[in-house]
Amino acid sequence: MIQKNDKAAGKMKQLLTAGNDINTHAFDTYSIEQAKLKGKLSIQTDPDNSKIKYATIRRKCSVEWRIFAAQKGLYELRFGYRIPPSDRMLRLNINGRQSKLAFTYRNTWYECRRDTILKKGNNIITLWYDEQPVGISYLKVSRKTIHVKPNLTPKMNAFYTCMPGDVFIKIENRNHKLLSIHCEGEKVPYKAEEYKYLEDTEILKIPKRFLKKLKPGEKEFQFAFSRSIAEEFQLNIISQSEPAPLTIIVFDVIHGNSTLFVMPTGKIIMVDSGEESVARKILIPFLDRHGIKKIDQYILSHFHPDHDGAIDDIIKKYKIKSVKTNRDFKTGEVFELEGTCWKILNSFLENEPDENTNSLSFKLEYKGFIYTDGGDLYGHTMQSIMKKFPKDIKAHVYNADHHFHGSTDAGYLIKTDPYLFLVSGEYHVYQRTYMDAFKDNTLHALKRGKGRFIDDLLTCEVGHIVLRVYGKDQWSYETYKDRYKAEIPYLL
């Protein structure tokens, strides 16, 4: 539980500052002229700045640098780039390790960063064409190895003794080795598997047989790493489950969005329902499993297939009498809804043809706690919201705009300054905005500024995400990894 002026608050502050080890490094710069160009590539001069040379990586083309590292370790890479008004990707190959690199649209030359492990001696770093052309000017490599602390996700969770399950934690090792885990002086057993979507990352499973032995209360798990201070994970062992005044469930719908609100009045509101196949395989079974026979209101953020799945069947099956869409709200509208206050940050525009730009974005407030849903907005719409409603941006929890899949605005995200970012998406977000505009830029800025950030949770990794809200300084979050069979005790 995140609480004000108590021991938990102090621990949360430790969690908050634990990852704020932003390094400032000296870099070696490798120009495009020092690279080996493959395919029909030529070096061009920027017409606006004759000092900038670049090559546009096109189909069947690549750019390759040979980099010497004095020692094996973690290094920071920065690629200088410029692209037309759209997000783009390139394939990245580092010593044979394949991944993709996302480039977020900027109206000038910009840098895309990535931390990676280089071997001692010569290293080959190659950028290959993927889907669309990208202009590349240079590669910067940190002159020395960098020190970035390991990262745990999630950093807190709940374990219910009445419905025990294994606990899963993603560990970004960042060139550190996990040595052991301890809780209350006892060594914790675990099983680790490689996580293929991020370099030097594992998924750990702590078995329920160990967790069942722990007494109720908040437990601290100490993760000991080589060359780093211990990292903490908090687990609340709960023997008796009771519903919170406001419960928000962000479903793992693979790709798309669906959120269920159990309101302070007891009424139930659903916002979106993912894709049709997912609604039938995940949402409807979840509702039935938890004995939910009636939904009081359905709100559709916009008319896209990853948001309006099985809408007609859901309306009929759960006897929904109130159905609203983005066309039924006005931007700036404020209203009370079942014990909470809502403000519409974005809605349908008559002359706007793009449905994502028309998607519903809203702020929900309950006793000072603020939850914001970013809809499927793009960066330019977020800039507009900042101008219209500068005092309504900050939130405790931010449900990511467009699944961090399309363009976003780092300035907006930084101003949101949440404790928790929620991302409803599948693994390919690692090849999109999530890595460049968010993880490699926004989070660095938030940590550098010592903001409130604690966690960013991907539904494809943690499953359903549940927020239990009592007020501004009293709320918690927990995750349910099995999207098909998850049971939430206090909803049964």
Query: What is the overall mean pLDDT for the chain?
Result: 91
Tell which wins on pLDDT, 178 or 100: 178
Q: What's the mean pLDDT in 361-386?
A: 96
The pLDDT of residue 227: 85
Reported confidence tier of residue 351, pLDDT bands at 50, 70, 90: confident
pLDDT score at 158? 97
Sign of the torsion angle spanned by Cα atoms 270, 275, 276, 278: negative
Q: What is the mean pLDDT of residues 221-238?
A: 94
Rounded Cα distance between 226 and 209, Å, is 27
pLDDT tens string 470-483: 999 899 999 999 99
pLDDT (average), residues 421-427: 91
**What is residue 148's three-state secondary structure?**
coil
Element (H, E) at 387: helix 379-388
Number of H helices, E strands in the chain: 10, 34
Q: What is the pLDDT of residue 17?
A: 41
Q: What is the DSSP string of 407-471?
A: ---HHHHHHH--SEEEE---GGGGGSHIIIIIIIIIHHHHHHTT-S--EEEEHHHH-EEEEEEEE
Query: 17-26, 66-75, 421-430 — which one is most confidently predicted on average?
Result: 66-75
Is the predicted pLDDT of residue 14 greater than 50, yes or no? no
Please tell me the predicted confidence (pLDDT) of residue 347.
97
CA-to-CA separations, 124 to 119, 121, 316, in angstroms, rounded: 10, 10, 58
Using pLDDT thresholds of 50, 70 and 90, give the confidence band for residue 3. low
The answer to whether the beta carbons of residues 443 and 433 sit under 8 Å apart is no
Confidence of residue 419 (pLDDT cuts 50, 70, 90): very high
Q: Rounded CA gap, 184 and 434, in Å?
A: 36
Each residue of 382-392: pLDDT tens digit? 999 999 999 99
pLDDT tens for residues 244-266? 999 999 999 998 999 999 999 99
Q: What is the pLDDT of residue 21?
A: 47
What is the pLDDT averaged over residues 339-348?
A: 98
The per-residue pLDDT for 105 is 77
Residue 492: per-residue pLDDT: 72
Confidence of residue 86 (pLDDT cuts 50, 70, 90): confident
pLDDT of residue 12: 41
Mean of pLDDT values over 41-62: 95
**pTM of the model as a whole:** 0.90
pLDDT higher than 60, residue 417: yes
440: left (phi over 0), alpha (psi -120 to 50) or beta: alpha
Rounded-to-integer distance, Cα 90 and Cα 413, Å = 25
Cα separation, 356 vs 401, whole angstroms: 10
CA 80 remoteness from chain centre: 24
pLDDT at 156 over 90: yes
Give the pLDDT band (50/70/90) at residue 16. very low
The answer for residues whose C-beta is within 8 angstroms of residue 185's C-beta and 6 or more apart is none
Cβ–Cβ < 8 Å for 84, 42: no
Q: pLDDT grade, residue 88 (50/70/90)?
A: confident
Confidence of residue 223 (pLDDT cuts 50, 70, 90): very high
Angle at CA of residue 465, ends 464 and 467, nearest 5°: 145
- Whether pLDDT at 22 is above 90: no
Identify which has the larger pLDDT, 447 or 148: 148
Q: What tokens were used for 43? A: 């070096």
- Quote the pLDDT of residue 32: 98
Q: What percent of the chain has pLDDT over 70?
A: 94
End-to-end CA distance of the chain: give it in Å, rounded. Answer: 22
Burial class of residue 138, CB neighbours in 10 A (0-12, 13-18, 19+): buried
Q: Which pLDDT score is estimated for 10?
A: 43
Structural domains in the chain, sorted by start: 7-20+149-238 (2.60.40.10), 27-142 (2.60.120.260), 246-491 (3.60.15.10)
